Amino acid sequence: MASTETATAPPRGILIAIEGLDRAGKSTQCALLVERLQQSGHKVRLQKFPDRTTTIGTLINSYLTSATDIDDHTIHLLFSANRWELAHSIRTDIAAGVTVVLDRYMYSGVVFSAAKGLDYEYCRGPEVGLPRPDVIVFMDLDEGEAAKRGGFGEERYEVPEVQRRVREMFRMMRGDERDAGDWGVVDAGAEVGVVAERVWGVVERGVEFARGNELRSIQ
Ligand code: NYM
Ligand code: MG
């Protein structure tokens, strides 16, 4: 029987963002998610932000480790530039059927800068036009719980007062109608396997959305 399948373009990849406070378990869950997506037949890759491997990423790393001080507006734009320099490869992969898991994205970019006192709309401005995730998993964890987890306090921003403000800004941002319908909140306070199940539940929504919709752009 002749198949029409060869003439059909492969379904596009799905763009999934994982967000949350420092030490919420994002990187662990990203790794588990990549594995599970592969087992479900997805071609998939992980993209971490900030991506510290680029020239701009090197500047960001030296800022985060307090090796250098950079003005608040300047570092904000560098974080955004770090996304823009990788945006093309993300779009290309999605179009080729590769699912991309983002370990942080522009939501961290906006809330960490806004938590320092920069204007929310100003912070959002440079992100407009970037690929928009089909779904955002927000790993919610009490900032007190996050502080108790290992390694906390090593980098800039990893102090309870900043994390409290960041969590508040995330809460506010989840109400932004420009991203309406994208967020799924997961209680990240449970055991790893339990959290992974919750993450998967949100991701399935994104898979469903991507089936019937083009990749959008951040508004
Ligand atoms: N961060 C991350 C920002 O301030 N702006 C951004 O655009 C992004 C992507 O960098 N505390 C902050 C959040 C984190 C820090 O992230 C480093 P990670 O996931 O710990 O490498
Ligand atoms: Mg960190």
Residue-wise pLDDT tens digits, 50-66? 999 999 999 999 999 99
Which pTM was predicted? 0.95
Ligand nearest to the CA of 124: 1
Nearest atom, ligand 1, residue 103 CA: 19
Residue-wise pLDDT tens digits, 101-154? 999 999 999 999 999 999 999 999 999 999 999 999 999 998 888 888 877 778
Strand intervals (E) in the chain? 15-20, 43-48, 98-103, 131-132, 135-140, 183-187, 216-217
The two beta strands, 131-132 and 216-217, are: antiparallel
What integer pLDDT is reported at residue 1 of this predicted model? 47
Among protein residues, the one whose CA lies closest to atom 13 of ligand 1: 108
Q: Where are the domains of the chain?
A: 15-211
Q: What is the rounded average pLDDT of the residues 163-178?
A: 97
Angle at 28 between CA 27 and CA 34, to 5 degrees: 85
pLDDT for residue 6 is more than 60? no
What integer pLDDT is reported at residue 143 of this predicted model? 84
Ligand 2 center–CA 47 separation, angstroms: 15
Q: Sorting pLDDT into bands at 50, 70 and 90, what band is 8? A: low
Domain 15-211: give its CATH code. Answer: 3.40.50.300
Nearest atom, ligand 1, residue 157 CA: 11
Residue-wise pLDDT tens digits, 10-31? 589 999 999 999 999 999 999 9
Among protein residues, the one whose CA lies closest to atom 21 of ligand 1: 50
Q: What torsion, rounded to 10 degrees, do the Cα atoms 216, 116, 65, 82 define?
A: 20
Q: Which residues line ligand 1 (CB under 6 A)?
A: 22, 49-50, 64, 79, 104, 108-109, 112, 157
Cβ partners under 8 Å of residue 119, min gap 6: none
Mean pLDDT over the full length of the chain: 94
